Structures are given as C-alpha cells and as structure tokens.
Amino acid sequence: MAGKVSWGISIPQVFFDGPIDMPLIERWSKRAESLGFESLWTQEAITGAVPILEPVTLLSYLAAITEKVRLGTSVIVAPLRNPIQLAKSLGSLDHMSRGRLTVGLGLGGNPNDIPPYGLSSEKRVRRFTEIIDVMKALWTQPEAHFQGEFWQLNGLKMEPKPLQKPHPPIWLGARHINALRRAVRHGDGWMGAGSSDTASFVTAVGQTKMYLEEADRDPGSFTISKRVYVAVDNDEDRAEGRLKEWFGKRYGNADMASQVSVWGSTAKVTEKLAKVTGAGAEMVLLNPAFDDMEHLDALAEEVIPNL
C-alpha cells in the first residue's frame, strides 16, 4: 500500500439478498490481506431487521484464517455491553489474533435502543466512560480496583491480560464536539463516522487537534481515522443509484448516500479520497456497499497506489 496513510476495508457483513455467505467472507478476507490492506473492520447492530453478524464472533473467525492484517471493530456500541464480559471477550480475541486487535467503541446513536437490554438510557455517557475505565483496569491491573457509579471493582482478577501492552488500542467513534473531547480523554484514536461528509470531517479534525494540544497529548500517539462509503463504477448514475438502494435498506435513509459517499470512476474516487487524506485522516476505512470482491482489486490496484 502506498504512502503514510493506513488503508482499512470493511468486512462483508450484511447480506440483504440471501443467506450469510461464509465462503465469500473467507475468500474476501484472504484476498484483502494478500492485496496489502492493513486492517479489516466490522460494524455492529445487535438488534434490528438488518442481517449482520456479531463483530467479536466474526473477528474470532477471521483471526484464524488470516495471519498479519489487523482486525478492528467500528464500532461496538459499548453501553449495551457488560464491561467485564466485554473485556474478557476482547482480551481473548487479542490472543487469538496474536495481537492484531484494534477496539473501536461508540456511544450509539439512538438512546431508545438501550431499554430492551434492561438498561436505562439515562446517564449513558457516564456508563460509556465507566465501561472504558473498567476494561482498562481489568486489562492492566493484577487486581483491578475501580469505584464508579455503575461498577465497583475491589481487587477483581482477570487473566490472561491482552497480548498487546498495556492493552489493544482503543479508538472512539465520534461526531459531536463532546464526543471528540471524550475520544481525546479516553482513547488512543478517533473514528470519524461514515455518516459524516468530508467537510464535517475537516472541521472535526481541527477540533480534535486543538483538544490534543489542550490535553498536552502527543498527536503521534493518537490516530485520526474516517470511514468512507465507496462505489467504483464508470457509470456514476448507476453507482449512485445502487448506493441509495443500499443506504435505504441499511439505514432507512437513501438520500444520505449522496451526501456522504464517494463514487464514480477510479480517477474520480481517487480525487475524492485525496480530500479525506488531505484533511488529516491517518487511517481510511473504505466501505464498499456492494460487489465486495471486485472492489478489493479496484481499490488496491487502481485507487490506493495513486494516493
């Protein structure tokens, strides 16, 4: 892969037109690694009508069939999880992948998703930050101690610790200004949402760099990344139409496709992605919405080398 930017790609995880195709996922993952993509990423939607595989389970499978490529979650909706169980699952996955895990965590976009889990949607930000602190304590302390509003640890032990030290990188999904502050305060990186456009990303990068400076944090220890939905097709109208169809099924908002996606010929896609990297993205998570195998080769061979 070319340049200083790291290139990741979203794992085929949603199958609207048929059963989950595990042979395709296996072929795709091995091909992506052989083409030089640095990281493979999942999404999460535990409930809902969209047929999507659970991220930790899927990455455990990929850990067994790949060798070097990093594996990441973008993002786990942390307030829906128990931090003790999540710390155990992710720590185990870090060993199963031989230290290739990046943990992407998010607050979640809809507070109404929380009550079906037997949880209150109140104070979900506090719950979110406590979850991060609890996991870090379990991953780094021989006997974890933590006193919070929702969780209290009094010498709780958890082994094995993650393979990566002090723990796998934690990147936080963020759009709002307060979420960017949280990412700087609690994370090792920030993941720009695929639902935000490039102009919004430019503004958010500037804010994040300001917060890093205010916190006296080394920018080199904090990764700025962005998910970008992409469709490579010389027929731009067809590409946009297919993106709208996919966004309508996935998010119930077909119009969002035109606002946040990159589509067109390889030259056009390259030009638009250059604006994302120029804005400060150090890792770009490419997310083809369809034709997963074909996009691997087109992006790796005709787009990324020109960036």
Reported as a single tens digit per residue, the pLDDT across 259-272 is 999 999 999 999 99
The tens digit of pLDDT for each residue in 47-94 reads 989 999 999 999 999 999 999 999 999 999 999 999 999 999 999 999
DSSP string, the chain: --SSSEEEEEPP-B-TTSS--HHHHHHHHHHHHHHT-SEEEE---SSSSS-B--HHHHHHHHHHH-SSSEEEES-EEGGGS-HHHHHHHHHHHHHHTTS-EEEEEE--S-GGGSGGGT--STTHHHHHHHHHHHHHHHHH-SSEEEE-SS-EEEEE---SPPSSSS-S-EEEEE-SHHHHHHHHHH-SEEEE-TTS-HHHHHHHHHHHHHHHHHTT--GGGSEEEEEEEEEE-S-HHHHHHHHHHHHHHHHS-TTHHHHH-EEESHHHHHHHHHHHHHTT-SEEEEEESS-HHHHHHHIIIIIGGG-
Assign 11 a pLDDT band (cuts: 50, 70, 90).
very high
* pLDDT surpassing 60 at residue 1: no
Q: What pLDDT was estimated at residue 17?
A: 85
Asked if residues 48 and 281 have their Cβ atoms less than 8 Å apart, the reply is: no
Q: What pLDDT was estimated at residue 180?
A: 98
Q: What pLDDT was estimated at residue 87?
A: 99
**Residues of the domain holding 181:** 6-306
The tens digit of pLDDT for each residue in 171-216 reads 999 989 999 999 999 999 999 999 999 999 999 999 999 999 999 9
**Residue 296 has which token pair?**
């691997």
Asked if residues 42 and 70 have their Cβ atoms less than 8 Å apart, the reply is: no
Query: Is 303 exposed, middle or buried, given 0-12, 13-18 or 19+ CB atoms closer than 10 A?
Result: buried
In a domain, 1, yes or no: no
Instruction: Give the mean model confidence (pLDDT) for residues 274-301.
Output: 98
* pLDDT surpassing 80 at residue 255: yes
Q: What pLDDT was estimated at residue 2?
A: 45
Asked if residues 108 and 182 have their Cβ atoms less than 8 Å apart, the reply is: no
In a domain, 32, yes or no: yes
Residue with tokens 């456009």: 197
Q: What pLDDT was estimated at residue 4?
A: 87
Instruction: Give the mean model confidence (pLDDT) for residues 244-253.
Output: 95
What average pLDDT does the structure give for the chain? 96
Q: What pLDDT was estimated at residue 110?
A: 83
Asked if residues 82 and 153 have their Cβ atoms less than 8 Å apart, the reply is: no
**Residue 144 has which token pair?**
């974890």
Residue with tokens 């150090």: 282
Q: For residues 45 and 37, what is the distance between their CA atoms, to the nearest angstrom? A: 24
Report helix angle 198-214 to 177-186, nearest 10: 50
* pLDDT surpassing 60 at residue 3: no
Q: How much of the chain, in percent, has pLDDT values that exceed 90?
A: 93
Q: How much of the chain, in percent, has pLDDT values that exceed 70?
A: 99
Domain count, the chain: 1
Assign 166 a pLDDT band (cuts: 50, 70, 90).
very high
In a domain, 50, yes or no: yes
- We report the CATH number of the domain holding residue 109 as 3.20.20.30
Q: What pLDDT was estimated at residue 295?
A: 99
In a domain, 81, yes or no: yes
Instruction: Give the mean model confidence (pLDDT) for residues 101-127.
Output: 92
Assign 107 a pLDDT band (cuts: 50, 70, 90).
very high
* pLDDT surpassing 70 at residue 297: yes
Q: What pLDDT was estimated at residue 262?
A: 98
Asked if residues 244 and 254 have their Cβ atoms less than 8 Å apart, the reply is: yes
Q: Which amino acid is at 171?
A: W
Q: What pLDDT was estimated at residue 280?
A: 95
